Chain A
Amino acid sequence: MKKILETLFILIAGFTFTGCDDLLDVVPKDKMSPDTFFDNETELKAFSMNFYGMFPGTGLYIANDDAYTQLTLSDEMRGGAIRSIPASASDGGWSWGALRNVNTMLDYLPQCEDKAVRTHYEALARFFRAYFYFEKLKRFGDVPWYDTQVGSTDTEQLNRPRDSREFIMGKMIEDIDFAIAKLPSTKSTYEVTRWTAMALKSRFLLFEGTFRKYHTEFDYGQGAHDAKWYLDLCAETSAEMMATSGYTLHTDGGKNGAYYQLFTTFNATELTDEVILARNYNLTYGVYHNSNYTMNTGSMGRPGMTKKIVASYLMADGTRFTDKMGWETMNFYDETKDRDPRLAQAIRTPGYKRMGTEVFSAPDLACSITGYQPIKYVTTKDQDVWNGADIDLIIFRYAEVLLNYAEAKAEAGSINQEDLDKSVNLLRDRVGMPHLSLSAANDSPDGFLTDSEWGGYQNVTGNYAGVILEIRRERTVELCQEGLRYYDIMRWKEGKTFEAPIYGMYFPGAGEYDLDGDGSKDILLYTTDEAPAGTAPLKYKIGTDIVLSGGNSGFVSPHATTDRTWNEGRDYLYPIPIDERSLTRGALKQNPGWDDGLTF
């Protein structure tokens, strides 16, 4: 009946209004169609802006690891049962939208007839594909490789099993080599160039080389190259960059200011000597972050550098602070005196003045849980408000390439003094520190850096152990709070360091303290029921408001009661989200140690 009526209607409709379907064909008039897009540089550039979203933002200064801690520890730091297998891809870092954009452009690129433009954007897209896969590989190890858009009905590709790590690395090297060859060599602060590609290549090769060296527990796939192959290639790439790029270290401002300038210059275009790529922020265009707010209010986790890292800064004369008698119980003022000048340029130390003011600002424990209050990317007070900061953030800088070079050489066992002089020692020169000597380092490896009580490195061995430790110290100091630390720990297989106590400043007991020696009291600690009278703006009751490692004295221990267990057999790789395992019907194997209870 329904069919008959319907047919009748269609007949009537057909007789009375022919061409009705033509009338109802309406297409968007304010949007392009993919088939007519992607055919000139303007369009390709507009689409490629999607890719840039892969670059980190606030993650460049917000850290939660053994070097910088916060009020609440990350799940990675806590380990154990807190780390659970996420249900969905979006919770587990298993999102592939960014790659889809890259492959979409690569698929449509033939629509552009200008070969030079086409090549440029192919190179750019492939740079970002390598970048994307590096992020995935760091997190998950093996992952499936896709170099074209996947259709919703292409079950075989959607359920593609993981490709071997060797295969992925090979593809990443292919992509990045194409990018290096075809991207422009003209420097650009905010756009990806040949040099960005080379810096990325240096970074991921060092990652892979050291990862394979220390993580012998994984299978890297058929015909996998060994660690040395990657380390050598890293050294080679870094050396090429050092020889041909023309980048140098930023030295304006001198030993006590140049380093600080890198992180307090609003526009990275003024730092083109060293900065390879920065992320541009501009309040005028509504693009901002919260560096000042994070570091200077109490509600953003109160980030602070840890005692371990503060202690690892050398003395200004090149000797080790931790070799000094009583270094552990030194008060803050003495502790920060005559240190590697980078310390005073990374955290608040006596004499620190907020940018644009002439007022001394002591460390504020209300904003920094350890007392070692970070100052990188902290700018003028007018940017202290929420969403009020717009200083550019550095994604790649030349110092890292130098450190990559030295580390690759040292880990490969092929380093010499000359290598140190053209890498690490350039960094030392900038801050007026004595040079690192290969022989001296190897002759007396620093016991503090391997002290398990302090969460020191446990897996550094061999003839080059001494210099490797020193290079790690240099890297930690130079690149602190720049978003690299967590994966450094992963590739060095030093996750156990997360179990070590996390300490802040030392306090000998109750009393009022003038931290920066400016004559006014900064903090009052007490054990009585009520806070005694005092002028300090902060009054903490020991044991409740502030926990000290020795009861009524000792190091500030913000996480004394939090269980932390690092699972060596599990935690170096993240788990594949449960839904993804189900959706691919087990084609995606779970990472070792993660039991999701699924069997297929």
Chain B
Amino acid sequence: MTNLTKALITFLLLLLGVAAWAQQGDYILKGVVKDSDGQPLPGVAVMVRGGNSAITDLDGSYSVKVQNGATVDFACLGFHNETVVISGQPVLDIVMKEETTMLDELVVVGYGSQKKTNLTGAVSVVKADALQDRSALDVGHMLQGSVPGLNITSSSGRPGQAASLNIRGLNSINGGSPLVLIDGAEGDLQFLNPADVETISVIKDAAAAAIYGARGSAGVILVTTKSGNKEKEGRATVSYSGRVGFTAPTTSTDWETRGYNSVYLNNLFWEAYSPGTQYATYTDKDMYELWIRRYDVTENPERPWVVIDQRSGKDTYNYYANTDWWHYLYNDIKPTTSHTITLSGATPVINYLVSGGYTYEQGMFRENPDKYNRFNLRVKLSFEVTPWLRIGSNLSYFNSSYSYPGQSGISNNFAKSTGHALASYPTSNPDGSPVYLTQYNGYTVMDGLLMLLDGTNVNSDTTDNLSETLDLTITPFKGFTLKADYTYTLLYKRYLNRAVNGLYSTVPGEIETMETGVFEDKLTEQTNTHIYRAANVFATYEHSWNDAHNLKVMAGVNYETKWLKDLTAIGYNMYSETLNDLDLTGADNDGNKRTDVSGGQNEYKTTGYFARINYDYMGKYLFEANARYDGSSRFLRGSRWVFSPSVSLGWRISEENFFSPLKGWWNNAKLRASFGQLGNQQMSSYYPAIRTIDTGGKSTYLLGGSNPSLATISAPVSSGLTWERSVQSNIGLDLGFLQSRLEVSAEAYIRDTKDMLTAGEPLPATYGYSSAPKENVADLRTMGYELSVSWKDSFNLGGSPFHYGASVLFSDYVSYITRFNNPDKIFAKNYWEGMKYGDIWGYHIDGLFATDEEAAAYTVDQSVVNDLMTGGLRAGDMKFADLDGSGKIDKGNEKVGDSGDWIVIGNSQPRYNYGINLNASWKGFDMAVFFQGIGKMDWYPAADARSFWGPFARPYVTFIPRDFHTQYWTEENPDAYFPRPRGYVAMNTNRELGIANDRYLQNIGYLRLKNLTFGYTLPEKLTRKASIAKLRVYFSGENLFYFAPGLHSDYIDPEMAMTQGNLRVYPWQKTFTFGIDITL
């Protein structure tokens, strides 16, 4: 017991401002609190109801003032509470019983469960209560930041967008995502009702994943759903959880809305690109008209926004508007709501749980909003047929539909809105017709988006997922269990996309029609059917002898198939604009009905045999071995099977005799180590080893009439194609202090991905294919570590226990290519041995030229990066550093070691992932704050990332940051961030902003207030009267705020930049909800 520990505890108490104070007229009760082993327990809260409180010191002793007859509560995390009514005794010693749920709690692992104390692999657990207040739509997003080493990203912010999951970084250059099993059957987190989740185990190392063999090489996420509660036998529990709220963009939407500025800026950048020409041919008089209206937020009747006059011999619309395009097209505030009802309970024979959920979220499109609806249903039953036979059924149904206006693919619509709509254009002509072509240039306003959003172009994506698992458990004699289950999952996706002709007007009174491209009148209906079947049979035998040896053996077989079938039908020239059914396919001008159909199907089958042995001696020395033998239909006979063995060891140091002196304050210490090898069959193709002729294509060379059918042959395949392997080692340390109030867990790992499939030895181009057949010829190493520290405690505050906790999660990893056939390390091959994965190469910028003279005096040849530069370098241009002194900016011979001025300027991999969780509850009030973020990640804005580059990308951007005119170089603004104005220079790698450089490299590391929850649970004595067991109301906010100091923009969510470099996707959203939980 060190002074440091004492000081720490004292400090914590002071910090929290808690001190017991004496009360007059009472006597002092003293005593010692011990655990069942007789060890003194420090830090136990001793709370006198309605009075004051104390904390046991390091010897477990306490003293507190009490009155005779008072009730005293003893509370300590990890132990059952003890309550004693005082009857005048001066000394009260207490023995507290440990809660089994702490260290002895069961953790779900593959084909079974295990005591947490006995775990030897790297497994993290998330429990239902960590998710219950999260207002993200799906479980995947809720997991972000809550498990070290589990990385969650999203490819857009649209309602219903599924999260992408990754465990411990890059698994293979061919990708690969974790296996997700819901109650043992392959599933999708997106299809889960978050309220159904009981626990989630995230399996990160090979030892724990080896039981899944080749399916688990990228890690495994095991979700266990709630079941009827046996403990409350005889009573049904009904609970309702509902919330309403709204979503809003996470970034600024305060774009330039002044027509004058919009025209001026785009023309300025355009003219610098193409001297003497204008993007929008507003005359000087027109510009004056815009200027006088620049403060008109709404149309001033004296200064109309559309003026009709005679130009080129006819009436013409002149546009002088100040249109806020963003808020015309999009809503910032959108409603969202969700409701779940759960009925559960048990009788001596049946455990049951029925839950239903509904979620609705409205999207940002304003006039005809996009809408996401989701229904969940789960019926989980378990029957005890005889004492040795149990039958279970787990039925789940998921339905979602996302309907949206415009072109197919919601992000396409968003992308269209980013170009060719000047703020000077009105949202429609005076007669109500859409604005499409203007007199100012030949470009189409937002590529016709205004016509597409009229309500007749409709789309819907519908998903139905029905899954049923039947299981059978036989326990013929003690210690032996045989389980068999069969799962059938039907996933049915339906897409409907309707496009109609577009009507627009450029000249008053003349309506014109667009009939081609996205305006072609057609109805597309597509279905994807996925049928998944899985069967598992496995037996477990457990035996202990001599009170020392504990053995558990499990073995089984798994068989799975998946069949995917696609069907697409398109009808053209529909009879109706509002009814959407292929029976309404009309006729073309020749009277012919025009339709298109296409199909497609894929299939795979896998079989695996697996076994596991667990042995421990006295709970001190732990041993586990897993093995699995997998065969996959993706490979040909001879290279089809892969063996995945693993072994792991654990040593519970804290159970050793020599450790007992420390036990008073250091209750748990465990060292773990594991090693294993897994196969990986995840690859884009279902038939990578078979050469095929694809006849589904259509020729773009026409022979007069419709597209002729086109047959293409797939590239040759290597005959020996086989599994990638992943060899992983992991060491872990689990520590618990102060009766596990402070817990520390650390992991370190090395994962070698071997024999990655990649193009074989490069072949001369005369071979006829751009790359050689794929072979198993590359290796990758990922090294990383994870750390989690948590503190939980409670003390008496104002007569009631104040519970609080804090936890910090941290993880990091780096990956290197350790084998790749590129001995000269030429950049063209993308990878080379020793390459750090994610490195960003670029040029170094020595600032902007301050004067024309300085620019002219710079003799270095920048022509490689100044393709659009006419008239030589000038003030405000970027000065590229000639690092190799060659007199020319270039990449040398384009290989490592001979790369000229081309250097590593950053790395695109996320580093230092972290999550910080703070929570407290007191007297029915509860509060939780959850921060999540990454420490560093470099991002070079992609070509055409318009919300970053503005008119530097294209001199016709719709959404220009409101302060953009202060951001670029002018003589008056020589310290500006961006160089002198010029359009298109961020578009190609031979232009100064389009090529990566360190001046505009962004660090998108961020800290995000992921969740903030305030709740209040009504006192039970009040709610009891209404027969309500529990009633809680709360506010929960998701993604409320972010801080990204390295990102030079208020308009870009760092998480969007992570996955969508060009930024032209549905924006990220934050959520504010108010909820109520009622349990009857």
- Please report A residues at the B interface, Cβ cutoff 8 Å: 2, 5-6, 9-10, 12-13, 16-17, 20-21, 23-34, 37, 43, 45-47, 49-50, 52-53, 55, 71-72, 82, 87-90, 94-97, 99-101, 103-104, 144, 146, 149-152, 157-160, 189-191, 267, 269, 279-288, 293, 296-299, 302, 359, 365-366, 382, 384-388, 537-541, 544-546, 561, 577, 579-580, 582-584, 588
Find chain A residues with CB under 8 A from B705 CB.
282
- Please report B residues at the A interface, Cβ cutoff 8 Å: 274-278, 281, 283, 312-313, 437, 441-444, 447, 512, 516-517, 520, 557, 599-607, 609, 627, 629, 631-633, 637, 640-641, 643, 645, 686-687, 690-696, 698-713, 716, 718, 760, 762-770, 772-773, 824, 826, 828, 863, 867-868, 870-871, 894
A101, B699: Cα distance in complex, Å: 15
Tell me if B763 and A158 are in contact (CB < 8 A): yes
Tell me if A160 and B766 are in contact (CB < 8 A): yes
Find chain B residues with CB under 8 A from A580 CB.
764-765
Determine which of A55, A285, A366 lies in contact with B706 in the assembled complex, contact meaning CB atoms within 8 Å.
A285
Determine which of A12, A53, A150, A190 lies in contact with B766 in the assembled complex, contact meaning CB atoms within 8 Å.
A150
Tell me if A26 and B709 are in contact (CB < 8 A): no
Tell me if A24 and B633 are in contact (CB < 8 A): yes
Taking the closest CB of chain B, its distance from the CB of A113, in whole angstroms, is: 18
Given contacts A32-B693, A88-B828, contact A24 B441 (CB under 8 A): no
Find chain A residues with CB under 8 A from B767 CB.
96, 100, 150, 152, 158
Tell me if B867 and A72 are in contact (CB < 8 A): yes
Taking the closest CB of chain A, its distance from the CB of B697, in whole angstroms, is: 9
The 15 sampled A-B contact pairs (Cβ below 8 Å) are A5-B645, A9-B609, A13-B629, A16-B609, A26-B605, A26-B687, A27-B690, A28-B692, A32-B693, A49-B708, A159-B764, A282-B702, A385-B444, A561-B871, A579-B826
Given contacts A33-B693, A37-B693, A89-B765, contact A545 B276 (CB under 8 A): yes
Taking the closest CB of chain A, its distance from the CB of B574, in whole angstroms, is: 15
Tell me if B442 and A34 are in contact (CB < 8 A): no
Determine which of A34, A152, A190 lies in contact with B772 in the assembled complex, contact meaning CB atoms within 8 Å.
A152
A17, B713: Cα distance in complex, Å: 36
Tell me if B517 and A26 are in contact (CB < 8 A): no
Tell me if B627 and A285 are in contact (CB < 8 A): no
Determine which of A24, A88, A296 lies in contact with B631 in the assembled complex, contact meaning CB atoms within 8 Å.
A24
Find chain B residues with CB under 8 A from A283 CB.
516-517
Determine which of B609, B640, B687 lies in contact with A12 in the assembled complex, contact meaning CB atoms within 8 Å.
B609
Taking the closest CB of chain A, its distance from the CB of B1067, in whole angstroms, is: 25
Find chain A residues with CB under 8 A from B599 CB.
30
Find chain A residues with CB under 8 A from B276 CB.
365-366, 538-541, 544-546
A96, B703: Cα distance in complex, Å: 25
A10, B712: Cα distance in complex, Å: 39
Determine which of A47, A269, A579 lies in contact with B704 in the assembled complex, contact meaning CB atoms within 8 Å.
A269
Determine which of A150, A189, A299 lies in contact with B768 in the assembled complex, contact meaning CB atoms within 8 Å.
A150
For the complex with contacts A100-B768, A152-B760, A385-B437, 12 further pairs of A-B residues with Cβ separation under 8 Å are A24-B632, A43-B695, A87-B894, A95-B770, A97-B769, A146-B766, A152-B773, A157-B766, A158-B763, A297-B441, A546-B276, A580-B765
Tell me if B601 and A23 are in contact (CB < 8 A): no
Tell me if B695 and A359 are in contact (CB < 8 A): no
Find chain A residues with CB under 8 A from B707 CB.
285-287
Find chain B residues with CB under 8 A from A540 CB.
275-276
Taking the closest CB of chain B, its distance from the CB of A384, in whole angstroms, is: 5
Determine which of B520, B604, B699, B826 lies in contact with A52 in the assembled complex, contact meaning CB atoms within 8 Å.
B699
Given contacts A2-B645, A87-B826, contact A537 B520 (CB under 8 A): no
Find chain A residues with CB under 8 A from B631 CB.
20-21, 24
Taking the closest CB of chain A, its distance from the CB of B470, in whole angstroms, is: 21
**Nearest neighbor of B700 in chain A, beta-carbon distance:** A287
Most buried by A among B276, B281, B645, B703: B276
Tell me if A20 and B768 are in contact (CB < 8 A): no
Determine which of A23, A71, A100 lies in contact with B769 in the assembled complex, contact meaning CB atoms within 8 Å.
A100
**Nearest neighbor of A283 in chain B, beta-carbon distance:** B516
**Nearest neighbor of B628 in chain A, beta-carbon distance:** A9
A247, B984: Cα distance in complex, Å: 47
A342, B763: Cα distance in complex, Å: 49
Given contacts A90-B770, A191-B703, A297-B442, contact A583 B763 (CB under 8 A): yes
Most buried by B among A34, A285, A286, A387: A285
Taking the closest CB of chain B, its distance from the CB of A226, in whole angstroms, is: 30
Given contacts A5-B643, A24-B633, A100-B769, contact A544 B275 (CB under 8 A): yes
Find chain A residues with CB under 8 A from B769 CB.
97, 100
How many residue pairs link A and B with beta carbons under 8 A? The number is 240
Determine which of A43, A279, A286, A298 lies in contact with B274 in the assembled complex, contact meaning CB atoms within 8 Å.
A298
Find chain A residues with CB under 8 A from B277 CB.
298, 366, 538
Tell me if B710 and A49 are in contact (CB < 8 A): yes
Find chain A residues with CB under 8 A from B274 CB.
71, 298-299, 302, 366
Find chain B residues with CB under 8 A from A191 CB.
703
Tell me if B693 and A50 are in contact (CB < 8 A): no
Find chain B residues with CB under 8 A from A26 CB.
603-605, 633, 686-687
Find chain A residues with CB under 8 A from B870 CB.
561
Tell me if B691 and A49 are in contact (CB < 8 A): no
**Nearest neighbor of B716 in chain A, beta-carbon distance:** A152
A20, B632: Cα distance in complex, Å: 10
Find chain B residues with CB under 8 A from A386 CB.
443-444, 447
Given contacts A24-B631, A388-B516, contact A33 B692 (CB under 8 A): yes
Find chain B residues with CB under 8 A from A384 CB.
442
Taking the closest CB of chain B, its distance from the CB of A159, in whole angstroms, is: 7
Tell me if B766 and A29 are in contact (CB < 8 A): no
A302, B764: Cα distance in complex, Å: 38
Taking the closest CB of chain A, its distance from the CB of B672, in whole angstroms, is: 21
Find chain B residues with CB under 8 A from A561 CB.
870-871
Determine which of B437, B607, B691 lies in contact with A33 in the assembled complex, contact meaning CB atoms within 8 Å.
B691
A472, B400: Cα distance in complex, Å: 68
Find chain B residues with CB under 8 A from A6 CB.
629, 643
Taking the closest CB of chain B, its distance from the CB of A8, in whole angstroms, is: 9
**Nearest neighbor of A561 in chain B, beta-carbon distance:** B871
Given contacts A28-B602, A152-B773, contact A96 B763 (CB under 8 A): no
A164, B31: Cα distance in complex, Å: 104
Tell me if B687 and A28 are in contact (CB < 8 A): yes
Given contacts A49-B699, A150-B767, A280-B703, contact A87 B828 (CB under 8 A): yes
**Nearest neighbor of B861 in chain A, beta-carbon distance:** A81
Tell me if B762 and A583 are in contact (CB < 8 A): yes
Taking the closest CB of chain A, its distance from the CB of B524, in whole angstroms, is: 13
Tell me if A32 and B700 are in contact (CB < 8 A): no
A396, B684: Cα distance in complex, Å: 42
Find chain B residues with CB under 8 A from A189 CB.
704
Find chain B residues with CB under 8 A from A28 CB.
602, 686-687, 690, 692
Tell me if A37 and B768 are in contact (CB < 8 A): no
A281, B705: Cα distance in complex, Å: 9
A190, B627: Cα distance in complex, Å: 62
Tell me if A29 and B643 are in contact (CB < 8 A): no
A16, B283: Cα distance in complex, Å: 85
Determine which of B312, B629, B690, B824 lies in contact with A9 in the assembled complex, contact meaning CB atoms within 8 Å.
B629
Find chain A residues with CB under 8 A from B718 CB.
152
Given contacts A46-B709, A96-B768, A540-B276, contact A280 B702 (CB under 8 A): yes
Tell me if B708 and A31 are in contact (CB < 8 A): no
Taking the closest CB of chain B, its distance from the CB of A232, in whole angstroms, is: 33
Given contacts A6-B643, A293-B442, A298-B277, contact A31 B692 (CB under 8 A): yes
Find chain B residues with CB under 8 A from A545 CB.
275-276
Tell me if A29 and B442 are in contact (CB < 8 A): no
Find chain A residues with CB under 8 A from B605 CB.
23-24, 26
Find chain B residues with CB under 8 A from A387 CB.
517
Determine which of A30, A87, A582 lies in contact with B696 in the assembled complex, contact meaning CB atoms within 8 Å.
A30
Tell me if A24 and B607 are in contact (CB < 8 A): yes
Ranked 3 nearest A-B pairs via Cβ = A100-B768, A545-B276, A89-B765
Find chain B residues with CB under 8 A from A302 CB.
274
